[in-house]
Amino acid sequence: MDPDRKQQTNLNDEDDNFIAEYKQEVIHKPWSKTLKLLVAITTLILAVVGTLASFKAASLGNQVVTTQNEAFNHWSNYQAKTIKKTTLETELYTIEIELAKLKDTDNALKTELLAKKAIYEQEIAQYKQEEITLTAKAQEAEQRHLLTKEISTNFGNALIFLQIGILLSSLTTLSKIKYYWYIGSISGIIGFSIFITSYYRNLTM
């Protein structure tokens, strides 16, 4: 036999032996009861945690909209107070001009203008305080909006990894290839870690 052909035949035989050993080891090797139980438990845990992650992502999604609307309402009220304050400041400026032009003999008009001035100054001070309060509330709502949005996104990311783990665990059951379960378990652990971190941040938010 030609040496090259003989060498090629030996290589083919080695490949066939490797494939046969792989099938025997990975595919046709019977599953142990322990492995079956582990795959079933893994799939169950990932499914439960995935359901919780989906619920929390949806719940926080609603809170994202609520906090955004809350911040918008506070800023709208702030703008309304600013407009009223600016109007009063303009009227106060007009009164001060009239007082400067007023003669000392016109005491009645001077008293009336001073009374208006005192009222306007009091209302302007009140609007300034309300502006400070509304600014603090709006900024707080914005911070809660950003934090809630971030945590909701993390729950969504956790759900993706958990679903990948569920898919690979299910594929393990169908194909009897345990390496799918290994990869699925790693994906599930990543998703579970993200879920726990997000859940803790949600509790302490």
| Alpha-carbon gap, residue 98 to 96, rounded angstroms | 5
Question: How far does CA 30 lie from the centroid of its chain?
Answer: 44
Question: How far does CA 72 lie from the centroid of its chain?
Answer: 19
| Alpha-carbon gap, residue 163 to 153, rounded angstroms | 15
Task: Report which of 190, 194, 193, 187 is spatially closest to residue 168, judged by C-alpha positions.
Answer: 187
Alpha carbon separation from 36 to 46, 111, 173 (Å, rounded): 16, 94, 8
Q: Note whether 46 and 164 are within 8 A (CB).
A: no
| Alpha-carbon gap, residue 89 to 106, rounded angstroms | 24
How does DSSP classify residue 205?
-
DSSP 141-163: HHHHHHHHHHHHHHHHHHHHHHH
Q: What is the pLDDT along the chain (205 residues), one digit of tens a residue?
A: 445 554 455 545 555 555 555 555 554 455 677 888 889 999 999 999 999 999 999 999 999 999 999 999 999 999 999 999 999 999 999 988 888 887 766 777 888 888 888 999 999 999 999 999 999 999 999 999 999 999 999 999 999 999 999 999 999 888 888 889 999 999 999 999 999 999 999 998 7
- Amino acid occupying residue 166: I
Is the full-model pTM beyond 0.85?
A: no
Q: Specify burial of residue 50 (Cβ count, 10 A radius: 0-12, 13-18, 19+).
A: buried
Query: What is the reported pLDDT for 99?
Result: 82
| Alpha-carbon gap, residue 105 to 67, rounded angstroms | 58
| Alpha-carbon gap, residue 152 to 43, rounded angstroms | 24
Domains for the chain: give ranges and CATH numbers. Answer: 34-203 (1.10.287)
